[in-house]
Structure 1
Amino acid sequence: MAESERESIKEQISMFDEKMISAQRAARRENWREFKKFFEEDRMRLLEPLDLFGNTAIHIATHSNSPNLLKELLEMLPRQERWRAMRMGNCVNNTLLHEIIFCTMVEMAGVVFKLEKELQQEEPYEPLVEVRNDSGESPLFRAAKLGKLKMLKYMAKHVVGDIRSHFVRFDRCSILHACILGQFFDVAIWLLKLDGNLAQHKDMDGLTCLQLLANMPLVFRSQTPSIGAVKNLMYYLLPDEGYEIDDDYDEKGEEEEESVVFRQKTDLESGPLDEAKQPEFNGIGHIWQKKKQHKLAECLAELLVQKDFSWQISFHSNFQPLIVLPILSSKLDRIKEIQLMKEKRQLVEIAHSRISKPLLKESISEASHFKNYTPLLMAAGSGIIEIVEKIIDMNPEAISHVSQDEHNVLHMAVKHRQLKIFNLIKRNSAFKSLIHRITGEGRTLLHQVARMEFYKEQRLPGVAFQLQDELRWYERVRRIVPPHYLMHCDKDGLTAKDVLEMEHQDMHKEAKSWIKETAQSCSTVAVLVATVVFAAAYTIPGGSQNGTPVFFGSRVFLFFTITDVVALVSSLASVVMFLSILTSPFELWDFYKSLPRKLSLGFALLFFSLVCTMLAFSATVLLTIRLDNKEWTSILFYCAGFLLVAIFAWMQFPLYKTLQKLVRRLCNGVKQLVPTTLINCFKRHKRY
């Protein structure tokens, strides 16, 4: 192949020549002085694309955060081409102002506005701040979407017309929706105080900003995953106040470049500004940022709740539904009927999806439109106690709101297993009126808690404890509903008990196998420990003389004897507990109290026997090598003996937490039982 042909192929393939590639290298190295030299010789190349996104050299110059460099590059061009360079867009039609929002110095935008003002005197053009990209975003919208609060406020002063024209893009997404989706709550608060009507705006899915926020549980403290005891302590020691933002907005456009910042002199864009108050460690700084996010989310929620009146539209049925009783049949026939009904419903859904997919999509969209829950119900389902509390405190009657499918706030809390919301509503005086609600599908509160449609796995040590948690939820709701609701059937002809057995059938099978395997493994370990401890009882440290132990009078020997006996007794007791589990019938309601309690107690006894075994081992070592009078050596051997126990305890910590809850419940039961018993005894004594 000839050299000329190779060169022609290279020119066809390469998008950039050597000079542009050199300019790219200079920009990557942030050598802006060298970058500028490349375009001093051929200034018109400033208008050519310099990267794959269609950005010109002037777009790239915004990354330098240097107002002088940007000004010098723009002044290199003739006045006719200067305006073209500022309006030129990249592959998505982002102009120079769209790219400048990433700069931390507002003077970068000031250079553009100053040059624009000079050019406007010669020939009027559309202001750069009004130009939109392919998504319909103005520079103001893009600055808010990316959380650039300082730049947003600076650009807002240069808007000539109505600033509200920048608040919605082509897909009907508002600027406030974009801020909430990006979790830039300081920007959202500033915008909401600027224009309160943004709270009522709905996006293309028909969601308001409060509904959007109600579907973001992780930005609130009540739904944040556990961060550990130490971090929790740091979180609570940090100040609870002072995270509000300054909402002053100068409509006259005075030349103040001070941004809307936290009162601690920080913002989400430029980070901490007050070095004296900045946390010294990254861990504390991360927790501080998290707490600021929680506080700002609460502040934003409070502002949005003040503008929300969706709870006033409530759908109450004109008549109280009657209780539908099940058809009398044997239990076996009833189970078969349930399974056939379930299979039939699944076949109908599959047939509909195969035959008419367009019609199915339309029906789904209509259903989602008519069953669009209010922020109160959404927050209750998400477990955001901050929003639910604020709505009920500001509007007490909002707790009686009913959706179009006859769901109230209690139904949502129960269906999504939100215990905090459930307890909050339980303390309200309207609680008794909420428990009688039956949905449009004929489901009571018991039907809602029996279904696993919205079930989420809890952080529990095993499937048996997860099933126990589900049964506790069912029992918790059963105590509050009217007794005759236990026999009520939904639209499928199923009582709540039928739904519970059918929905939890797979979990029940998994719990059976899990608890059997765990009991067998633990019983094997318990028998092994009992064997070792039993053998240690006959192998007396130091031997014996005429049947009397050599170290009979030693306190360490007494300690060895006691720990050895306790280890033997506790290990045998744990064996009995695990054997009682293996011989249980494993019915569904056995997992409510009996089986988890036996497993927790058996595991606690096994752990206690291991602790006593290690203590007996340490005492044996001390007796054998005779270090009774050397305290530091004794401490060293005790620490060595406890090392394995500590590792074992740390690995099995979740089970200890369940045991701790069990002990707490027993203590509460005793506290309630003892006063009652004493009062009864006193009454009997008074009679006589």
Structure 2
Amino acid sequence: MAESETASIQERISMFDEKMISAQRAARSENWREFKKIFEVDRMRLLDPLDLFGNTAIHIATHSDNPNLLQELLEMLPRQERWRAMRMGNCVNNTLLHEIIFCTTVDMAGVVFKLEKELQEEVESYDPLVEVRNDSGESPLFRAAKLGKLKMLKYMANHVVGDIRSHFVRFDRCSILHACILGQFFDVAIWLLRLDGSLAQHKDMDGFTCLQLLANMPLIFRSQTQSSMGAVKNLVYYLLPDEGYEIDDDYDEKGEEEEESVVFRLRTDLESGPLDEAKQPAFSRINYAIWKILAKEFNGIGHIWQKKKQHKLAECLAELLVQKDFSWQISFHSNFQPLIVLPILSSKLDRIKEIQLMKEKRQLVEIAHSRISKPLLKESISKASHFKNYTPLLMAAGSGIVEIVEKIIDMNPEAISHVSQDEHNVLHMAVKHRQLKIFNLIKRNSAFKSLIHRITEEGRTLLHQVARMEFYKEQRLPGVAFQLQDELRWYERVRRIIPPHYLMHCDKDGLTANDVLEMEHQDMHKEAKCWIKETAQSCSTVAVLVATVVFAAAYTIPGGSENGRPVFFGSRVFLFFTVTDVVALVSSLASVVMFLSILTSPFELWDFYKSLPRKLNLGFALLFFSLVCTMLAFSATVLLTIQLENTEWTSVLFYCAGFLPVAIFAWMQFPLYKTVQKLVRRLYNGVKQVVANYIDQLFQKT
């Protein structure tokens, strides 16, 4: 046993001899001259494995990106061995042409094609190198597309002798377009789609088309990344030029690439419309050049620009795929829409017990399903995936991709009426996944009223869908209480649009939407109670402390008093101190009252809709205002006490020092600021709508 272990260790150590190790060092240090000299002595060693992946020295030479080196190494071998070297595969059967796709210059592939043409006369029957597939069934053409090498892909495509479509699918039925989309190489995907439009209809082994795949990738679209970028990044994103997103046109033997690139740019300039050469072309070029310099100097700008380019290309690809998508035409409209199912009359306490029993029953069913045999489990999973295999329209609605939903509805207005096999429409998907942008988009459509009456196969109305937390994702909100408030807002938003009698409708479990809401949000309700209690207690302690400080400051007057009259009574700074101190005391005591009113509230579920969050926000606002006034009173006190001659710069200095804690307090982003931001946005939208209605009325009168 020990001897065999020793032998295996020696085998592992002696895998590479000194010559091969020297060649490895030369390749790692990119000393290609030394690399070539090593194999000039023993040329047949060029066919031996040089690394752990089975790559030969010929494969490794592709890393040099030097066509002359590759040609010289191949020409060292005899003609018959040269043919073998070009076709030799590594551990996954990647040939020389598979590895060349990483090169930046297409001349590397040109060397191989040239030598192959010279040697093909000596071989009776052979498959061209560009047709050879690796263990995954990928040709060099497929591999170049999968890794986003558009320039090399175009070059190899021009050297395909037979039908190029034979390169578009590998052994696992994944198409070349699927691979590009998964790798997020959208410029390559656009080029391929123009080459062969039938790729848009191809389905992979999971039954997904390319548009379905794209509909499950929300982060590559602008509509899903705008909120997470921040104000400064969004401003830079907006100011970046809208042109310059054409696909790479560095190489095309036919000389037609320049025209195709211009067409791409005209079609994909979705924000600013088609480019017009007469509209300040010089300004556009200067603007583009300036931003290009800034992007090179600042990595942040370059990253944002790259993201904008990705968004533009993804949007253009989505538009091309939508033009070839007709899956929405297959709609499963049920001939029988059930009437509402009324709940059994019972007391509130009995109903709560029923809900609890229903929840426990559901948990037991889930445990039982997890213990079933593997064949039955596979069958249930495949059945579930069959019913969940929605069209791109419904998938995009669930993912919140406004661009895809908008393009499908614009190109095919009747697509909005599409219903899935389990009786879900686009509005159900938007509500179930809490996609507000999609909800508002559909709400503006004239078909909105016809969508709200749909009841799913499981007997769920829109209100049941929004009451469930099956697809809930935690929002970027500062606390659990505000997350619960957001859920209740969603429920109320949907309740306003559905028919009133749907409030009494029961699903297949015998639960109304309100029952589902209470049952599903029970844990969140408990967490929200604890969070808002702890927050109110902590903030009330701070407010009492501030009130104590400013109350004591009112009796310890700066500079003291003479015969009951303050020494600095006639000073404007003293008047400022008095006002800020009184305001700080009043606002801090008012915030204490607000926090105490929270602690004495009943904490019912619907108290978190308006009452409790409003009190908490008002308490935060008063506490923040009291801290600001306290800092101002402190700065005024310091100025009165020191009495420096040059008061201009000292006043500024002390006020800045006094505002430092306030700035830190504001930087923590309390819920107040989020609420104020939303309130301002609502007021703006309301005023905008009123002005628009007023203008419409004026036009109608005229």
- What is the TM-score when the length of structure 2 is the normalising length? 0.90
Name the stretch that deviates more: 10-19 or 533-542.
10-19
| Matched-pair contact (CA < 8 Å) for 2:151–2:248 | no
306-315 or 236-245, which deviates more: 236-245
Deviations 1:327-381 (A, max 9, x none): 0111111111122122223222322331323112112212312441000000000
- Which ranges in structure 1 are unaligned for 5 or more consecutive residues? none
**Deviation string, structure 1 residues 407-458 (Cα, Å, up to 9, x no partner):** 0000000000000000000000000000000000000000000000000011
Q: 1:672: Cα distance to partner?
A: 11
The answer to whether the 8 A contact 2:242-2:269 is kept is: no
Contact 2:155–2:252 (Cα < 8 Å) also in 1: no
Classify 1:660/1:296 alpha carbon distance in 2 versus 1 (closer, same or farther; 3 Å). closer
What are the Cα deviations for residues 60-91 of structure 1, in whole angstroms up to 9, with x where unaligned? Answer: 00000000100000000000100100000000
Structure 1's 4 and 289: CA in aligned 2 closer, same or farther, altered over 3 A? closer
Once the two structures are overlaid, the 10-residue window that deviates more, 274-283 or 538-547, is: 274-283
Q: Distance in 1 between matches of 2:190 and 2:696?
A: 58
Q: Does structure 1 conserve the Cα–Cα contact (< 8 Å) formed by 2:246 and 2:262?
A: no
Measure how far apart 1:201 and its partner are: 0.1
Instruction: Tell me how far 1:4 sits from its aligned partner.
Output: 16
- Distance in 1 separating the partners of 2:65 and 2:394: 46
Q: Which has the larger displacement, 271-280 or 54-63?
A: 271-280
For residues 74-109 of structure 1, the C-alpha deviation after alignment (integer angstroms, 9 at most, x for no partner) is 000000100100000000000000000000010000
Q: 1:505 aligns with which of 496, 500, 522?
A: 522
Superposed CA deviations along residues 102-140 of structure 1, whole A, max 9, x for unmatched, are 000100000000000000122452100000000000000
Note if contact 2:402-2:437 (Cα within 8 Å) is conserved in structure 1. yes
After superposition, the Cα gap between the structure-2 partners of 1:23 and 1:254, relative to the gap in structure 1 and judged at 3 Å, is farther
Q: d(CA) in 2 for partners of 1:343 and 1:19?
A: 70
Structure 1 contact 314–404 (Cα < 8 Å) conserved: yes
Given the superposition, is the C-alpha separation of residues 672 and 573 from structure 1 closer, same or farther in structure 2, using an over 3 Å criterion? farther
Q: Taking structure 1 as reference, are residues 248 and 16 closer, same or farther at Cα in structure 2, changes over 3 Å only?
A: closer
Alpha-carbon spacing, 1:230–1:238, altered in 2? closer, same or farther (3 Å): same
Assess, with a 3 A threshold, how the Cα gap between structure 1 residues 72 and 277 changes in structure 2: closer, same or farther.
farther
Query: Are residues 253 and 288 of structure 1, via their aligned partners in 2, closer, same or farther at CA, if it must alter by over 3 Å?
Result: closer
Q: Structure 2 CA distance, aligned partners of 1:119 and 1:625?
A: 96
Report the alpha carbon displacement of residue 240 of structure 1 after superposing the two structures with TM. 2.3
Between the aligned partners of 1:671 and 1:557, the Cα distance in structure 2 is: 45
Indicate conservation of the 8 Å contact 1:74/1:82, yes or no: yes
CA contact (8 A) 1:244 1:263 kept: yes
* Secondary structure at 2:211 match in 1: helix
The answer to whether the 8 A contact 1:261-1:267 is kept is: no
Q: 1:525 to 1:275 in 2, by over 3 A?
A: farther
The 2-side partners of 1:39 and 1:275 are apart by: 57
Q: Closer, same or farther in 2 for the Cα pair 1:11/1:448, shift >3 Å?
A: closer
Alpha-carbon distance in structure 2 between the residues aligned to 1:476 and 1:630: 56
- Do the aligned partners of 1:147 and 1:184 also contact (CA within 8 Å) in 2? yes
Structure 1 residues 565 and 677, CA gap change in structure 2 (3 angstroms)? farther
| Structure 1 residue 247 displacement after superposition | 8.7
> What is the deviation of 1:678?
19
User: Secondary structure of the equivalent of 2:476?
Assistant: coil
The separation in 2 between residues aligned to 1:211 and 1:4, in whole angstroms, is: 54
Alignment check: 8 A CA contact 1:194 1:249 kept: no
Flag the 1:502–1:400 CA change in 2: closer, same or farther, 3 A: same
Q: Is the 8 A contact 1:246 1:260 kept in 2?
A: no
Whether contact under 8 Å (2:247, 2:261) holds in the other structure is no
In structure 2, distance between residues paired with 1:336 and 1:290: 52
**Structure 2 partner of 1:257:** 259
Could you tell me which runs of 5 or more consecutive residues in structure 2 were left unpaired when the two chains were aligned. 282-296
Name the count of aligned residue pairs: 684
CA distance in 1, matches of 2:384, 2:661: 58
Distance 1:449 1:39 in 2: 70
| Deviating more after overlay: 241-250 vs 197-206 | 241-250
CA RMSD in angstroms comes to 5.0
Structure 1 counterpart of 2:361: 344
Establish whether residue 626 from structure 1 lines up as the match of residue 640 from structure 2.
no
Shift of 1:550: 0.7
Superimposed CA distance per residue, residues 126-169 of structure 1 (whole angstroms, 9 cap, x where no aligned partner): 10000000000000000000000000000000000000000000
Question: What is the rounded CA distance, in whole Å, between the counterparts of 1:30 and 1:107 in structure 2?
Answer: 19
Following superposition, the deviation at residue 51 of structure 1 comes to 0.2
Instruction: Say which SS state the counterpart of residue 54 (structure 2) adopts.
Output: coil
Distance 2:102 2:669 in 1: 48
Distance in 2 between residues matched to 1:102 and 1:79, nearest whole Å: 26
Write the distance in 2 (CA, Å) between the matches of 1:678 and 1:17: 86
Give per-residue Cα distances to partners, 1:495-525, cap 9 Å, x unaligned. Answer: 0000000000000000000000000000000
Contact in 2 for aligned 1:571/1:605 (Cα 8 Å)? yes
CA contact 1:523–1:579 (8 Å) conserved in 2: yes
The percentage of counterpart residues that share the same residue type is 92
516-525 vs 540-549, which moves further = 540-549
Shift of 1:657: 1.6
Greater shift in the superposed pair: 549-558 or 275-284: 275-284
Contact 1:149 1:260 in 2 (8 A): no
Note closer, same or farther for the CA distance 1:313–1:680 as it changes in structure 2 (3 Å cut): closer
CA contact 1:186–1:268 (8 Å) conserved in 2? no
User: CA, structure 1 residues 100+270, in 2 after alignment: closer, same or farther (shift >3 Å)?
Assistant: farther
Q: Retained in 2: the 8 A contact 1:265–1:274?
A: no
Change beyond 3 A, Cα 1:651–1:243: same
